[in-house]
């Protein structure tokens, strides 16, 4: 699990995989994990980086919520983001998506990039606010300007959806490039959009075309995806012979995934 201290001076929280990390006033740190499906009870070490010491304490979810609330009310942007997350997760307080959006709005006014991105997500799916594609795009664009990588991916997927009958691959590729994804990786991402219906209805034929474009750049991960397409019939009739050939080419280029796949196939005889 990746733990990250996201506040420099006041109470804040980083939520990922059900984990909570607080940076307490005065330099102390609190880490806690909420088991899924349980009532939060936060028992964790508090560390002081200056002293290198550690002591045990127990903080209830409600107390944690109150700690973050106080700092948010003082105008701490990280605490505002944290408070919105607590409302969204229902930790220490009844779940309330509307209040979560309200706190993201307050932080967004001060140009807090993560909150701006979260507003985009809220408007995209109508979580705590009426769904509004234009508002989602506006917030994703602003988050992208503030260098939030995930915002570029969202803009790319929305470009694939578009308002026109045909997806705008060129625009999607531009956003992926800005996110640091270019060349074969960008075409692989487009293939994934098509295959899984990200931002548009699934189109397996176009997915395979994109994977082939990615493979033409030498991207071994795309070769593995092509092998899977031939194996199960994504954008093409099932073709065991071609699937094995493509997997083998990927193995020849040191693809661990393809090696495991081939081993499983030969052990089961599934494509024999």
Over residues 157-205, the pLDDT tens digits come to 888 876 655 678 888 888 887 777 777 888 888 888 889 887 678 899 9
Taking only the tens place, the pLDDT of each residue in 105-157 is: 999 999 999 999 999 999 999 999 999 988 998 999 999 889 887 888 888 88
Conformation bin of residue 11: beta by default, left when phi > 0, alpha when psi is -120 to 50? beta
- Mean of pLDDT values over 36-42: 41
pLDDT score recorded for residue 271: 64
Q: Is the pLDDT of residue 30 over 70?
A: no
Question: Higher confidence at residue 59 or residue 234?
Answer: 234
Whether residue 46 has pLDDT greater than 70: no
pLDDT at 193: 85
pLDDT at residue 40 in the model:
42
Determine the average pLDDT of the residues in 3-25. 37
Q: Which of 97, 113, 103 is nearest to 80 (CA)?
A: 103
Rounded (5°) CA angle 125-127-131: 50
d(C-alpha 43, C-alpha 12), whole Å: 17
Quick check: pTM over 0.85?
Answer: no
pLDDT at 58: 57
In the chain, the largest separation of any two C-alpha atoms, in whole Å, equals 67
User: Which residues fall within 8 angstroms of residue 230, CB to CB, at 6 or more apart?
Assistant: 236, 238, 239, 240, 242, 243, 246
């Amino acid at each position: 699990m990746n733990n990250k201290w996201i506040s420099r001076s006041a109470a804040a929280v980083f939520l990922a995989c059900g984990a909570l990390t607080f940076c307490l006033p005065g330099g102390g740190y609190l880490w806690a994990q909420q088991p899924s499906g349980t009532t939060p009870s936060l028992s964790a070490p508090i560390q002081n980086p200056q002293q290198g010491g550690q002591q045990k304490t127990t903080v209830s979810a409600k107390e944690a919520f109150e700690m973050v609330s106080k700092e948010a009310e003082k105008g701490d942007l990280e605490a505002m983001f944290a408070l919105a997350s607590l409302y969204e997760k229902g930790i220490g307080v009844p779940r309330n998506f509307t209040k979560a959006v309200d706190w993201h709005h307050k932080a967004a006014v001060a140009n807090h990039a993560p909150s701006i991105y979260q507003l985009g997500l809220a408007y995209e799916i109508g979580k705590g606010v009426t769904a509004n594609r234009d508002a989602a795009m506006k917030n994703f664009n602003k988050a992208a300007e503030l260098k939030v990588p995930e915002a570029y991916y969202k803009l790319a997927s929305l470009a694939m959806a578009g308002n026109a009958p045909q997806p705008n691959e060129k625009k999607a590729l531009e956003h992926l490039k800005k996110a640091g994804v270019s060349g074969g990786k960008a075409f692989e991402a487009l293939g994934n959009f098509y295959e899984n219906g990200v931002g548009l209805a699934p189109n397996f034929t176009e997915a395979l075309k994109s994977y082939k474009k990615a493979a033409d750049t030498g991207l071994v991960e795309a070769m593995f995806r092509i092998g899977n397409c031939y194996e199960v019939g994504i954008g093409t009739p099932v073709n065991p012979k071609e699937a094995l050939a493509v997997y083998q080419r990927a193995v020849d280029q040191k693809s661990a995934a393809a090696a495991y796949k081939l081993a499983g196939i030969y052990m089961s005889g599934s494509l024999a």
